[in-house]
Structure 1
């Protein structure tokens, strides 16, 4: 270049490519400086006026090096993989980083408080539902007593809501109902007109049944397959509620009224049938059952079809007992009365549950 000595001209890349080192001389007694640890650059406000970066020297005097053409990379001394100085504790020069709590941390709901609030809400909701259910049951009368009254009302109306063939089937199958578990089959031969109770019971039995009243009395007479026996079965529909029927049943059990020979139901003797001669003197065995789940008294009375008289009638419970030797017991008349009454009672219960269901 013109006006500048040639020896003073330096290549523009000399300052960026020359290594940073201290030239030693023979007259210099100080040893050559070789860094043993990463050099941390001092914090500076910015580059000096010459555009160079200050690099500390061993004696503390800065040495200026020209800025490289490219951007300055991160200081390797701050790397996690940078070696530690000899004798220093491991990772003594590693940066320690702590993260602060996020904003609003103290305002976040605590889990324990949330669970407590949720549990309290569930309790309040549950109590509200229970209270609503109880209140609703009071308003609509949905109680056990109401259900019982409904069942009694349904059963009490069967005498005019259900066909006679459903209450008194034309044929009744009595498997195992005879003496020794023998099968029985009964065939209906007559159905009495429905009416009151005045002529159906002896005066003393009528008085005993008076507390429950008499709404309607239905009767039918059956005979066995051999036509040797005749049996009248009756359904007395009372006016009593559940408490009244329970009271009557308790009295029958306490006083053994079903075993008294002066409380025998009367038979229904239909003309022009094998039961035409079935009168009061022909009654041989009987049974009376007071239902507590329906306003009904079920009974049956049996006798011989040939019209023979019976001097000492015997209740079915005794005539079917093992070892019984009376005439009704030996003839199986106790099984006739009890077996037929039980099956008519079962049909009645099925019909009370589902009035449209035909009994089997």
Structure 2
């Protein structure tokens, strides 16, 4: 005789077939609101899977849905993301990938910080374009021995016509001064935007003592931007090629350059530097004091087809070659000064 059911057993849903559980009722559960089971649904105990009835209740009791079975849980490293109403999957960083991403971030910040620190340590400019090396060079005129700026002897390997060597010997050094009487009025006007802080000059002669050359270093009051502007102005308007803007020579009594005056100027060069606040120039002439009627810029006088007297005498090479060597020495001295601890 079959065992009587308990009065509290839950009724089976009329719209679903009986669960295939051998009639034990293990696949059934109490619905919310049934005696002894208020509140939300809880999974039944025992080895049986969830019944379709339980799934229906968990989903709100909707009818007409397709039959759903559960697969094994997906344990791959993904995380859901909603897009246009659909639930899609995107990769979640694994431990190795997360570490790599963190390393990239740290490296990026390190490179940015390192670049900023390197810029500061090397004296790179701020917004005004000034640099530690630039500022240090501006003080060289009173802090460096004259023999370092204007060596007693300057070697010019390959500086002569056809790549021949030159040797220049210093014959006079002018006292440091301002620029009031050192330039013709038009050149002084052209250089006025950068200001004249101090002017240093020395005169050299070649090994034959037939040519003389005055080389000058005009230290300016300008910053790097001002020097760059002046350089652009000179290049654009050809100010370094105009005969009315030739620098003046320095003649010293009792030397081979005693007769080296304005009328003896034969070739010249002017260079506006931007890494140091200095204008470098050189002007050459004949040591015998002859007047030159066709002075020529050094670039023109150095051309192989030039036929003027300055070109034939190699005076363009004299001016350019000596100016280049003095300029190189100035840059070396400025670099050394900027490396000194403050």
- What range describes the TM-score normalised by the shorter chain of this pair? 0.5 to 0.7
250 and 313 in structure 1: CA distance in 2 versus 1, 3 angstrom threshold: same
User: Which one of 164, 180, 188 corresponds to residue 198 of structure 1?
Assistant: 180
Are 1:115 and 2:96 an aligned pair? Answer: yes
Change (3 A) 1:117 1:182: closer
2:189 pairs with one of 203, 207, 219: 207
Equivalence for 1:145: 125
Structure 2 residue 156 is matched with structure 1 residue 174: yes
Does the CA-based 8 Å contact 2:203-2:212 persist in structure 1? Answer: yes
Cα distance in 1 for residues equivalent to 2:116 and 2:305 = 59
* Preserved contact between residue 202 and residue 265 of structure 1 (Cα < 8 Å): yes
Q: Distance in 2 between matches of 1:136 and 1:184?
A: 44
SS at match of 1:216: strand
Relative to structure 1, the CA distance from residue 320 to residue 149 in structure 2 (aligned partners, 3 Å threshold; closer, same or farther) is same
**Structure 1 residues without counterparts, runs of 5 or longer:** 1-105
TM superposition shift of 1:122: 3.0
> Do structure 1's residue 347 and structure 2's residue 329 form an aligned pair?
yes
- Say if 1:119 and 1:195 are closer, same or farther in 2 by CA, change over 3 A: same
**2:199 counterpart of 1:217:** yes
Q: Which residue of 2 aligns with 1:72?
A: none
Match of 1:334 in 2: 316
**Unmatched tracts of structure 2, length 5 or more:** 1-74, 76-91
Distance 1:133 1:263, change over 3 A: same
What is the CA–CA distance in structure 2 between the aligned matches of 1:127 and 1:221, rounded to whole Å?
55
Deviations 1:260-287 (A, max 9, x none): 0000000001011111111101111110
SS at match of 1:240: coil
Instruction: Provide the secondary structure at the position in 1 that maps to 2:263.
Output: helix
Asked if 1 retains the 8 angstrom alpha-carbon contact of 2:213 and 2:249, the reply is yes
Q: Of the candidates 240, 247, 251, which is equivalent to residue 222 of structure 2?
A: 240
CA distance in 2, matches of 1:195, 1:189: 18
Task: Report the counterpart of residue 290 of structure 1 in structure 2.
Answer: 272
Offset of residue 144 of structure 1: 3.2
* C-alpha distance in 1 between matches for 2:253 and 2:187: 25
Closer, same or farther: CA 114–157 of 1 in aligned 2, 3 Å: same
RMSD over equivalenced CA pairs, Å: 2.6
Alpha-carbon distance, 1:347 to partner: 0.8
* Residue 305, structure 1, aligned to residue 275, structure 2: no
TM-score scaled by length of structure 1: 0.63
Q: Which of these two proteins has the greater Rg computed from alpha carbons? A: 1
> Are the counterparts in 2 of residues 149 and 241 from structure 1 also a CA contact under 8 Å?
no
Q: Distance in 1 between matches of 2:302 and 2:266?
A: 13
2-side partners of 1:117 and 1:150: how far apart? 42
Tell me how far 1:356 sits from its aligned partner: 10
Q: Distance in 2 between matches of 1:135 and 1:261?
A: 46
Change (3 A) 1:327 1:149: same
**CA 1:308–1:248 in 2, change beyond 3 Å: closer, same or farther?**
same
Distance between the aligned counterparts of 2:287 and 2:305, measured in 1?
A: 25
Three-state SS of the structure 1 residue aligned to 2:215 is: strand
Distance in 1 of aligned mates of 2:293 and 2:262: 11
List per-residue Cα deviations over 1:65-102 (Å, max 9, x = no partner).
xxxxxxxxxxxxxxxxxxxxxxxxxxxxxxxxxxxxxx
231-240 or 146-155, larger mean C-alpha shift: 146-155
Over 3 Å counting, the alpha-carbon distance change for 1:137 and 1:208 in structure 2 is same
Distance 1:217 1:113, change over 3 A: same
Cα distance between partner residues in 1 of 2:121 and 2:154: 40
